[in-house]
Chain A
Amino acid sequence: MIKFGNGNLRIPKFERPVYVVAGGLTDYRKRYPEKNTSQLCTEALRMAVEENDLKVDPEEVRRSVNWCVYSQFADHFGDQLLAAAKIHDYLGFDPLGNIEVKTGGATGGSAVLAAAQAVASGYASCVPVVGWERMDEVSTKVGNSYIASAACKDFESELGWMYAAYYALMAQRYQYENNVPRDTLARIACKNHEYARYSPYAQNPGKYTVKEVLENDIVSHPLSFLECCVMSVGAAVLLLCDEETAHRFTEKPVQLKAIAGGSHTLRTADRRDMPILLLPNETPETYRHYFEERRDSWPGFSSFLASRMAAYLAYNMAGIKDPLTDFDLLETHDAFTISDVQTYEDIGLRPYGRGREFIESGDAYFEGRLPTNLSGGLIGTMHAVGATGIFQIVELLWQLQGHYDKFHGDPQLWRRYGKEKPADWRSLQVKNAKRGCAISHAGTGSHVTCAILEKV
């Protein structure tokens, strides 16, 4: 869509407030044969109901549930159609109604959106959102092929059967237009691998130098392995409630102020030029000098219209004027270093063409202006696709409740996953964090959701 009608840009509205009260995770691994998918989902649910300091016992939570939302990206990875029905049964929620959501990499974000819609409309008052992915039944090469069947199978999948290659095409164009130093991109990878070192859930933690990231083997030029997300097995659970239930369950409810979704063509190829959709912190003046010989169109291959659309709706829904100052925390879908820089621009942390400054200024780091992916993100911690968007919001919830240390620093928790808490572990708890944002992202930007959480 190039021209918007008034209805197209209507700002979404919740009929009543929506709260997030509890979250649970598993650890994430490349292979997890020790546990089947139902076990992983149950483990995450138990963490949500048993370890989030709820004022009610798990049985009372069960009695309060009246709708469930399930989140799995790919039936062919799990090789089980209607897996949600099986998980729902194993979690003991029969005969309550449920729905399974699928929007590629943004499945988790969309599942939270669906649950929020149920609570906000009055349809439900207590909704668990359960996400998972089991990506270890096939080899990595077949796994990449499965993921690439989420590209257009008629005109694009055959070209590589590899999603990293489709992002690499965008990366090369972004670099041609904006010339970001390779070091800057590598620093994103270093940052997220580093933050993953403090997370007991993380699959791919590590202390890497910029040089090591750049000298790492290339997947698809210019992206190195260390600049790409992991392929994971694991689950994540989030509990959404209405106001009354939230206050009954917890002393520390966090409000889901807004969540909104945008979309764009599955094929990057089909992205036609259009005027830039402006965020509340931008004016036409922001882009007076943006277009030149190399930057000849928007969104082109350098920007994600779906992310811009989701941010536009969510920011207006939550009254966000300037994301850089209004948010204390951010979780992005850092599937690749380059897409992270693109996202910084799409969600208005810097104007288009200047995303690199968000990293170079130090803003994105712990104790910077807007710490980003303190969870370790998709590069360092996990990308069990159906769980990912939920995992991001669980991590935000814990930060906003002041529970980072509880859920990352407890040596028992590390041992639960067969790990030792590192001797140089440090707390990434953001002091007095009030408001956080999470971006869930699919395809080369086919679906994106933007969620905004606020401490009550």
Chain B
Amino acid sequence: MSIDWPNTVLEVVERKPLLVKNPKTWSHIHSYGGWGRFFDGLRERKILATHCKNPACGEKRLWLPPRCECPDCWHETAWVEAPQRGKIYTWSVVKYPGELFKLPAGTPLISVELEGVCTKLMSWLKEGKPEIGMPVRAVFNTERPTHTILDLAWVPA
């Protein structure tokens, strides 16, 4: 018997030096695991954060992005709603985003300061011009959710 040469050939980009094009087209099936609850929450217009359930733990504030376990004492955390109004801690307008960015170049990125939260969530500003200290409120992409962090955005409050 004789086996045929392969049908699939690599495109030659250049002869000298020899450059060939390796196509990559497959998908990763990614699990958010315990953080999935946060993304479910966005579809219900809720920002779900977590806090440590251990009464002896020194960190009483909320984690957002949520953590399923407390990094200070390794105890389990509990889900709780975070405030939907906060202030812009810092911002940038990304002019040359990388491949895969689902929003247009020129979208303002922001970090949001929320009362009672120990972190400054990175997000984006859907309307208006960003400024440090500017009050903002959360808006949610519930119609055609992307199931990513982009389903949460902020507008001037």
Contact = CB atoms under 8 A, between A and B. Distances in A.
Interface of A: 1-3, 33-34, 79, 137, 139, 141-145, 147-148, 152-156, 158-162, 164-166, 168-173, 176, 217-222, 267-272, 301
Interface string B1-32: 00000000000001001010010000000101
A173 B30 CA distance: 33
14 contacts: A144-B97, A158-B148, A159-B122, A161-B99, A165-B94, A168-B94, A169-B91, A169-B110, A172-B90, A218-B95, A219-B95, A268-B122, A269-B65, A301-B90
Contact of B101 (A162, A164, A218, A272): A162
B92 A171 contact: yes
A160 B98 contact: yes
Using C-beta atoms within 8 Å of the partner chain, give the interface range for chain B.
Answer: 35 or more
B95 A159 contact: no
B121 to A, nearest CB: 6
B80 interface: no
B98 A158 contact: no
Contact of B98 (A34, A147, A168, A171): A147
A170 B98 CA distance: 19
Contact of A161 (B95, B97, B119): B97
A27 B72 CA distance: 45
A58 to B, nearest CB: 27
Interface of B: 14, 17, 19, 22, 30, 32, 35, 58-59, 63, 65, 72, 89-102, 107, 109-111, 118-124, 132, 148-150
Contacts of B95: 217-221
Contacts of A218: 95
A154 B149 contact: yes
Contacts of B149: 154-156, 158-159
Contacts of B14: 33
Contacts of B99: 139, 141-142, 144-145, 161
B96 A162 contact: yes
Instruction: Choose among B58, B72, B101, B149 the residue with the greatest number of A CB atoms under 10 Å from its CB.
Output: B101
B120 A301 contact: yes
Given A154-B149, A171-B92, A271-B119, 13 more contacts: A1-B72, A3-B58, A79-B22, A137-B22, A159-B122, A159-B123, A166-B122, A218-B95, A220-B92, A221-B94, A269-B111, A269-B120, A271-B120
B92 A165 contact: yes
